[in-house]
Each structure stands twice: as C-alpha cells, then as structure tokens.
Structure 1
C-alpha cells in the first residue's frame, strides 16, 4: 500500500465544491467530468448496443471472448452517470477476465424515480436470458448506485420468477435508503466525497416520496437474501456508506449465502476507479476479476450472445 497515493487521491477528491444544493444538470456535468479523468484500459473494444429496450454499451476484449457475460450497472447516485462514465471499471473487468460485458444505460431520477432503474436492470437481464444466455454464465456487477442494483435487481428478478445469475460483484454499493448505518455519521469528514446531506439530497430524487423501509430500497436492512448467488462486496474503510456493505454481508451470511466482504483501509468510495493511480485499486480489481472468473467457470456454459 502507498500512503502517498492514498493521500493524493484524498486531496484530489476534496476539491472545493459550490455552496448549496446543485442542480441536476450541474451534478451530471460534474460527475461526467470527474469520471472522464479515470483511466480506461487498453485491450478492449466498445460498441453501442440495446438490451431490454434500453441503450447499452457492449465491451469486448480485443481477442476472443471467454465464455460468459458481465451485466454491469453504472454508479452516479441513481441521478447521474452512464455506461461511458463507468468504462474505466467495466473495461478493467473485461480486460482482466476476457469476458464480454453489457453496461446498461438505465433510466435516472428525478425524471424516472424508483423503481425505474430496477425495472430496467431486470429487463436487461431478461433480455439476455431470452437470447439464450444461461444464467449460470451471467454475473451482475456494478459500482455505487449500480452496486446496489446488483442486489435489488437480483431480488426483483427472483420475485419475477427468473433464475438467478451466477454471482454478484458490488463496488461500494448503496444499499440503505434509510441512512441508518453508524458509518453515515462516524465517517462524516473522513469520507472525502460524500456527506449525509449530499446523499439525502440526491436520494430524495430517487425516492420521490417512497418509503425507504422496503427491501428494494434498503436491502442491507430488509432484503431476504435466501438462495442468493455468491457475493463479493468491495468497499473502502473511509466511506460513509461502509455500513451498507457490512450489514449486507452479515445479512447474506445469516441467510446461508457465500459472501466475501473486502474492506480496504484508508480509501474512498469506488476507489477501484483509480486504477493506475492507486495500487489498492488494481489489487482490488484483480480480486474482483478472479471472483468473476471463478463464478463463470463454475457455470461452465456459454453466454448465448
């Protein structure tokens, strides 16, 4: 680990922000500008696609694809982001595994609040299955809000009677719309990116008045994870959202689900995006790729793309 690297990232993410609430347009523009600075790996190819009635970005390795499909859900607090903003992460997983990914451009709040993003995620998964993909050769992956979607889309898919994917990979997932985790206050100021006020501001756009005390909004508290596929949850110790991950992992364990909770010290939210700048980012991506490869190898089936 490099203390200098971690300190540099922390300083970079603490740049002065405008006073007061920002408009949705400013939030989206700022997020796009930030993510445009993240390194996209060599050795991948991208193409526009469509999945379940929504635009998507297909990401392939330059060589022959390994069997399986990664269904990726981007971050952005359910109000911003796109497959393009997540390309550093999606591309890193594709480059490391050789597996093709589809990154879904799901609908965003406030124009399309809960449960629009979950509906789009499930439709994308159903579309993969309808094209012949074996669920044992599909894995869900995502970061931040998209990390939360890996869990809530799996819950919704199960409720719809769909077979579950082979595994779930979540980077710094948002899993508790009630904001009741101890880390929400305990990590305030330690987290260089998020504050309670900021999360409640964007979270209200996604909730649009919905009760946060329900499984599809707060699965870390209320989700029935019985029968879930294996999970890998990676999170930084400096996150106000840390307890979203720790409580989900405990809930998965109690439900008899294979779960790995991977906490990295002194790093921020979705630190994996800082590949090439932070040793811990590359190491975490290597562990994530190993998990995905193991899950897909166990499935032993082609994805039916």
Structure 2
C-alpha cells in the first residue's frame, strides 16, 4: 500500500497547477486555493493575532498543554505561502505534540527581502519569551523555506541576548541558497514539485545582491555550535535532499545533537499529506516524539 500511496501522491503533485518559480501574484493565489481545498478538522482553532509586532496565527487542538509552545514557520521559498496557509500542517504538529502552534506570518520577498523574515522570527520569539513561556518549553518547527528560516533564526539568536529554544524540527529544509547540492540536478527527474531553476528565481527575489553563501542565507555554511537538538526529515525524491544531508553533517561537525531521517520514495514536505500517506503519519509522530522528548529533558 505504501508504494501505491507514494505513486498516487507523485501523480497529484506532477499535475498540480502550482509552480514555485512562477509569477508571484498568480502563484500565491493558486497555492492558497490548493490549501483551502482541504478543510480543517472541526476541532482545530486558528486565531489571528500578533507577537512582537509580527502577525501570527495561533493554532490549537483539544487537550493541549498551555505551558509549552511550538513556534512554526511556513514554507514557500520565502516568497509564497502564509501563516494561514500553513494551519493544516501546523495543526497536525500541534495535535501530536499536545501544544499550541504559533505560525509566524513573516514578511515575504520580493516586497520584503532578506533579512526581513529572520528579523520577524527573532521578534516573535522574543515576544513569546517575554510573555512568560520559558525557552526550554518552546520548540521551533518549519517546512521547506520555513525549515531554512528555523536554522537561520537559531544562528541569528547567537548574536542576541536570547536563549536557544529547547529543540528544532525541520521538514525538507531549504538551507543552501547557492543551490549547489548534487541532488539539485541528480534528483530533478524524480522530484514532482520543485526544480533548481524555480528555486534560483525565488533566491533572487529573497536575496537580491546579498551573498547566497552567507550563513544567515545558507545555514549549511555557518557555525552551528551551540544550537539546540535538531531533527531533520527529508524525502529521497526531492532536489533539496542534499540540503538536509549537509545540514546534518554541519550540525554534527559542530557538536549539535542531530537526527537525520531520509524517507525513501517521498517528495518535498511529504509530511503535509498524512491523510493519504502512511510515511507522512509516521514521520509526524517521530517529530512529535522528538519535540516532547526534549521538553521532558
């Protein structure tokens, strides 16, 4: 059944109208329509607000522990998506972890280029701490560019007076703005959603004239020493496979406790398809166990 599920998801993604590298306004609308087509469970609450002057959506499910929180960062190559669009996956994470998820609606490129997203992430985290939630009861979770933003934010925190969160889990992180990993071309034929050309278009939107190899743009080139425990999940059928593998290697070399999970035959951010893919369900359970284990520790 698992192989049939993988093939069915591959077909869906290959025929979807969404193009990461397409015209910004059009693709933002298409992405929103695709997400909105999947209704939220009735027991999910999503409330818009702000945290540190940054718009957020607080996602809650029954039975949550009010003493803990997940700070969530959506994907979209830093130019697409929104906190509202991420509610479905954020809610799935929140339910399994047993905590509220606060999805950060960070500013998007090209209207707000680098480092606006990082500034918003740090501001939201600072406000969450100021609101009385201790760092050891906060976890960061992010998907795709949101996973890259998690890593970049953790690096940025090293230059502030703020403590690191308890742990971070990232799904298919985009952490190499040079798009130089071997999988960018080696996995292009089996990736049903992304192309290196599309990612390079969005990199130009986000970075402008900034160096794509700078650590806050591409955390795989940074010094990760002092970062909290890190879980990295990635599919073997995606061009960002090497981003994840190299991030894990960099973290390990810098003495960061790190777990890398490569899930065979699945695409970019496969965790978002837990309703039809058993691997996604298992991956989310594993991520939740990781987060809770580090809170308990």
TM (norm. structure 2) is: 0.96
Q: Number of residues paired by the alignment?
A: 297
Separation in structure 1 between the aligned mates of residue 280 and residue 227 of structure 2, nearest angstrom: 27
CA RMSD of aligned residues (A): 1.7
Separation in structure 1 between the aligned mates of residue 231 and residue 270 of structure 2, nearest angstrom: 15
- Judged with a 3 Å threshold, the aligned counterparts in structure 2 of structure 1 residues 250 and 21 are, in CA distance, closer, same or farther, namely closer
Q: CA deviation at 1:33?
A: 2.1
Counterpart of 2:57 in structure 1 is 57
- Judged with a 3 Å threshold, the aligned counterparts in structure 2 of structure 1 residues 171 and 16 are, in CA distance, closer, same or farther, namely closer
Q: CA deviation at 1:147?
A: 0.6
Counterpart of 2:256 in structure 1 is 257
Structure 1 spans left out of the alignment, 5+ residues: 299-305
Q: Would you identify which runs of 4 or more consecutive aligned residues in structure 1 move more than 4 Å?
A: 16-21
Separation in structure 2 between the aligned mates of residue 197 and residue 53 of structure 1, nearest angstrom: 34
Counterpart of 2:28 in structure 1 is 28
- Judged with a 3 Å threshold, the aligned counterparts in structure 2 of structure 1 residues 40 and 294 are, in CA distance, closer, same or farther, namely farther
1:271 aligns with 2:258: no
Could you report, residue by residue, the CA deviation over 1:168-196 in whole angstroms, capped at 9, with x for unpaired residues? Answer: 11011100001110000101121001111
Separation in structure 2 between the aligned mates of residue 292 and residue 17 of structure 1, nearest angstrom: 34
- Judged with a 3 Å threshold, the aligned counterparts in structure 2 of structure 1 residues 282 and 64 are, in CA distance, closer, same or farther, namely closer
Separation in structure 2 between the aligned mates of residue 229 and residue 170 of structure 1, nearest angstrom: 13
Residue 232 of structure 1: SS of its match in structure 2? strand
TM (norm. structure 1) is: 0.93
Structure 2 spans left out of the alignment, 5+ residues: none
Could you report, residue by residue, the CA deviation over 1:178-224 in whole angstroms, capped at 9, with x for unpaired residues? Answer: 1110000101121001111111111110011211010001111x111
Could you report, residue by residue, the CA deviation over 1:7-55 in whole angstroms, capped at 9, with x for unpaired residues? Answer: 0100111117599963210121122122234464454322122111111
Counterpart of 2:82 in structure 1 is 82
- Judged with a 3 Å threshold, the aligned counterparts in structure 2 of structure 1 residues 174 and 63 are, in CA distance, closer, same or farther, namely same
Contact 2:17 2:30 in 1 (8 A): no
